[in-house]
Structure 1
Amino acid sequence: MNQFIKENIDPKLAEFYDKHYTVLNWDLLNDKKYTYLGNKETKVCRFCGKDEFNGATFKKLAHAFPESIGNRCLATYYECDKCNEKFGKTIENDYANYMKFYHSISGIHGKKKIPEFISNDNKSKSVWVDDKYILTDTNEHCHCLIKGNSILYQSTAPTHTPMAVFKCFVKMAISVMPENNLKQFAKTIEWICNKKHENIFENKKLLCRYEMIPGYTIEYPCYFLYQRKGPKSLAIYPYMIFHLTYGNFSYMIEVPTQEDLHQSIDKIKFPPIPFKSSSAGILDLTSNKPVSDLQQTMLFHFDSSEEISIEHLPEKVKNAALIKK
């Protein structure tokens, strides 16, 4: 048994979700060929509502989830070219910037390759070469702190807007939501599409729960879309929950509706995952202001180390590790 895999799911946790939630949709995105959601013959964009008779075109490949998370197999017929382009330049770009540090370290293969990460001060670099991870720090202790058999790597995320990152999570949930559930999220879809970022809730924060999975990278994204059982009048838990696991992280958000009043998502149990986690926390993505100073960290552990002169490194490794001015 892999040391990072749980042998058993917590029975109380499984019982909680069996009692309060129904799985509307789920998938492990490991197919070698594309699977398309929606109707190929009658294409209607679920984000702007337009079809081909109203000037919408559907010529481009529309991914249900961004390629930056490693999605290379799940696409839809119900996202028009205009919305596809808009999301790619806005909320999906914010998400990619927010996650670039972690995507690089975890080896998440994006649209073209695993992204390399260079710190804002141009003093550290994270890159993969031939399935080997290379971390460069040109100023000792500037970004990498080595203590014992651990390395603490810290840097600043590229500029992003937190609320746009949250919208990207919600957009993924809407993309895999069954057609007959969309009506309840009409205002949510309008909110995603609005370039002006305002909180859809009046008195609640936009929170994202996470658990970190150490030492074991989840190669393929896996998602669950949960719908609460029972009428809204009895609601004490979020109506819809989206749960996404990939890389070294598992994320959980509420898919917001303006009508649904209940306790905050930080009060309920995190969905069951078959992996051991080293830490858990809550991300507050409520801010609609661009952020350029967010510090992110990752802790590495190693059994042994060996000092090697840079002259003895393969040329390919030296070129990859070089930070160009």
Structure 2
Amino acid sequence: MKAIQLNRFGGPEVLEAVDLPTPVPQAGEVLIRVHAAGINFFEVLMRANRYAVTPQLPMIPGVEAAGVVEAVGQGVDAQLLGRRVAAPLCISQRPHSGYAEQVTMSADLVVPLPDSLSFEAATALMVQGLTALHLLRQSPPDGKAVLVPAASGGVGSLLVQLAGLKGARYVTAAAGGKAKLDLCLSRGADAAVDYTNPDWPAQVRNVTDGKGVDIIYDTVGGALTAASLQALAPGGELVFAALGRFGLAASDLEAMIGRNQSLRGFALLPLLSADVLKASLSELFQMAASGRLQVTIGGRFPLDQAGEAHRLLDERRSTGKVVLIP
């Protein structure tokens, strides 16, 4: 089978197309023919060795895939053959390997896909959909004004919609450029501000009648975090979900204390037991299949163009979900 392998750290060009033996499903596993594999920004950081965790090389990146079961291992119900499924590899024994034509995974962890849900949409609802859903479960938006930075991205575009569906009083989206702002508004944001403008936090305060927002869902980190604090209301909450990109200084934290503001950390994987993951994905899949949740696919690339797909994310030119099509 064809796969994309990372043998050394560096730019997008280090992602190499290789031929590998087709994996064999072991007892309790299924073999899935991949129809779509998702790309996440943390994989871009990992490729360049800029992530919080350094992976062991060589590796096949990719923590999410969707496709059709084409073989089963010992002890697995043969009725799974031919089923359309999602493979959330992020919680499997082999948490990477999605950038490939075929993957194996425990049959107990695959999640059936509704017939009307595309494989591409399914990839967007795994890591990114689960992140958005559980951010809102950790810090419910009901009745509150919220800010979503990077709101045109994979997580952000889902957060904007889910926050509205879960009762947010006012959703402000922050993104860069008119096209991205228009996308945010089309996904239900009440207001959209361009965070390439230096005074964007003041614009957020303006659209909230000078009060600021009650919750910031920060999945970006870096310098954007400190800037966004200028838009946080007294007593508000910053939910930080950008592992490895925490850039607040002690003075920022002291200022938050003086304004009775709180900082809450968020890490997805510790929240995901197998049962919670499967129930959460089923909820997201049904919402998307029914049309209540819109998935934005911002780029489709053949498997051997994984480097170009990474470049799109690295240069922050993407909107929504970027996928590989083996």
Q: Which category describes the TM-score, using the shorter chain as reference length?
A: under 0.3
TM-score (norm 2): 0.22
TM-score (norm 1): 0.22
Higher relative contact order (CA 8 A, sep 6+): 1
Tell me which protein shows more helix as a share of its residues. 2
